[in-house]
Chain A
Amino acid sequence: MNQVVVDLLKKTFPDSIIEVKEFRNETTIIVKKENIVKISEFLRDNPKCQFNYLSDLCGADAYTPENRFEVIYNLLSIPLKHRIRIKIFTDETNPNVPTVSNVWEAANWCEREAYDMFGIIFDGHNDLRRMFMPEDFEYYPLRKNFPLMGIPNSLLLPDTNPKK
């Protein structure tokens, strides 16, 4: 089933597919980030794919000099009952990625979460606020250079000492 999708994608977008990986019977297709919206629409609407359900969208920090951030789309087809993973890369200096929230509405909050945690900016997103952290927090906590213990004084907490 996954092979059909991979072949279809290779035929339709011959220069956008960078790599196809197979691990534990799961297929990951790495594509160019410029074409992600077109590929998403194709995967959603093509009768052989019908990926109408965005199961998950998340960011990841590969911590490499180039192509530092990954955005991973975990797609599920409810009518055809199959799954596929699409992955795109983006840079540290220019972490912009086109939004897919117009393709699947479920991407809205997931993209906000990825922005909150990694600082990946989704161009065209209509409401790119932080999801969990306060709006005035300066750092992106799931980046690999953010320490586990946090950064002292980065969050303004209420004063718990009794007043003198």
Chain B
Amino acid sequence: MQTSTLDYRKVRQEKIIKALGNKDTSVQFDDSLENAMVLNMGPQHPATHGVLRLLLKLDGETVIQCIPELGYLHRGYEKLAENCSYHEYIPHTDRLDYLSPLLNNTAYVLAVEKLLGIEAPRRTQFIRTIISELARISSHCLAMGALAMDIGALTVFLWTFREREKLYDIFENLTGARFTTSYTRIGGVAQDITPEVKKMMEDFINQFPEKLFECEKLLNTNRIFVERMDGVGVITREKAISLGMTGPNLRAVGIEHDIRRVEPYLLYNEFDFEVPTFEGGDCLARYYVRLNEMKQSILILQQSLEKIPQGPIHAFDTKKVLPRKERIYTKMEEMIHDFMLINIGAVPPIGEVYHAVEGSKGELGFYIQSRGEGQPWRLKIRSPSFCNLQSLPTLIHNSMLSDVVAIIGSIDPVMGEADK
């Protein structure tokens, strides 16, 4: 019996070689169960959320080693920053985390304002809080849908994209662009929130919890979903801190660390919201943290839309804040300031600052060194996806190959941000 199976296999191998039909081709058959295999996953793999490349060393179906390779989307944004003025760099921040560009705009502008020593008016701070939370919902919606899609539940992906579509309509009406918004300005924002857009936002937050609940109903008690996620990709508290995980992934190991609470910026200390944490440290905990964060974002949005005051949207500092277009065309002084700001830029004093916000993926910070010129001397983007990806080998170690996609989906990397 044994010999006949072996014979059969040999004949089949010969047939395969014959079918390949080329004498230059040589095929070597090893017993695949006795060899570790190296599998190249990505960079063009749909489940790697962009151009992430993973080299996986497999023992059967178990991953015994994982090496992530980054840099396929490296565009040199830190080098570009050294050659643009502070205003010119705002559109580039859209391209970092392209799922929540409004958050990146806000984070960058807050860092520059800290360096320049100016503060935006109160209405602008409300607007920035609102757009940050909308961007967070948009990003978490995608994270949730893509995670479900990666492990085979396509419906949720379509449903969350329907919600994102409504958000993009709001962004289009507010900023003029759906995707690359470039909405914030130093000391202000590009346009004010019109009553029409405010109405759209209110409509969105009134219907969103119900739609989220529908998605929740599909996933939370879905046995396939829960079993694919529960106890997969576990990390301990100490390891997560040491590896520098941030954002929802850090809160999924039970650490209540949220920049909105720890180092309050904008108006977050005036709002009533909770920081959801879960103890599991696995994929399911990370999913639940994001789900609950969306509900908290809705709470913040409700409060801020209720309280938003009337007032100016630009700080009054003619040497640093771009003047209004209609005044440039009619007033001499504004025209001179506009000319100086466009050609030389807003000039901060010599020094260095770091300002972090709680982005949708974690702590998004900008470290700026200034030498008293119109351009930054050095700008470092502290990107949360980069730090979260560093934990990937630890999370993947000794898990099954099919769990790799679930783990990547649950830590939610965006390669535009990780590769800069």
Assess the B241–A53 pair: CB atoms within 8 A: yes
B71 interfacial contact with A, CB 8 Å: yes
CA distance A108 to B391 in the complex (A): 11
Contact indicator B262/A81 (Cβ below 8 Å): yes
B41 within 8 A of A: no
* B273 interface residue per 8 A CB criterion: no
Pairwise interchain contact A24-B241, C-beta atoms closer than 8 A: no
Any B CB within 8 A of the CB of A142: yes
Known: A52-B241, A74-B354, A132-B71. A106 touches B390 (CB 8 A): yes
Judging by beta carbons under 8 Å apart, are B241 and A61 in contact? no
A85 at the interface (CB under 8 A from B): yes
Could you say which residues of chain B place their CB within 8 Å of the CB of A106?
242-244, 387, 390
With A26-B354, A108-B390 known as contacts, the answer to whether A56 contacts B382 (CB < 8 A) is: yes
Q: How many residues of A contact B (CB 8 A)?
A: 33
Pick the interface stretch among B74-82, B138-146, B226-234, B301-309.
Answer: B74-82
B interface residue count range (under 10 / 10 to 19 / 20 to 34 / 35 or more) = 35 or more
> Of B70, B78, B239, B244, which contacts A53 at CB under 8 A?
B244
Consensus secondary structure, chain B interface: mixed
| CB proximity of B398 to chain A, nearest CB, Å | 18
Knowing A55-B363, A74-B367, say if A85 contacts B419 (CB, 8 Å). Answer: no
Cα distance A130–B69 when bound, in Å?
A: 10
A1 part of interface (Cβ distance < 8 Å): no
- Chain B contacts for A104, CB-based, 8 A: 242, 244
Cβ B244 vs Cβ A105 within 8 A: yes
Query: For the complex, what is the distance from the CA of A131 to the CA of B244, rounded to whole Å?
Result: 17
Q: Does B351 belong to the interface (CB within 8 Å)? A: yes
Q: A23-B353, A78-B257, A132-B70 are in contact. Are A142 and B79 (CB under 8 A)?
A: yes
Q: A24-B353, A106-B243 are in contact. List 8 more A-B contacts (CB 8 A).
A: A23-B353, A55-B356, A56-B354, A58-B367, A60-B377, A74-B367, A105-B243, A132-B71
Interface residues, chain B, CB within 8 Å of chain A?
Answer: 70-71, 74, 76, 78-80, 83, 114-115, 117, 239, 241-244, 255, 257, 262-263, 351-354, 356, 363, 365, 367, 369, 377-378, 380, 382, 386-387, 389-390, 419-420
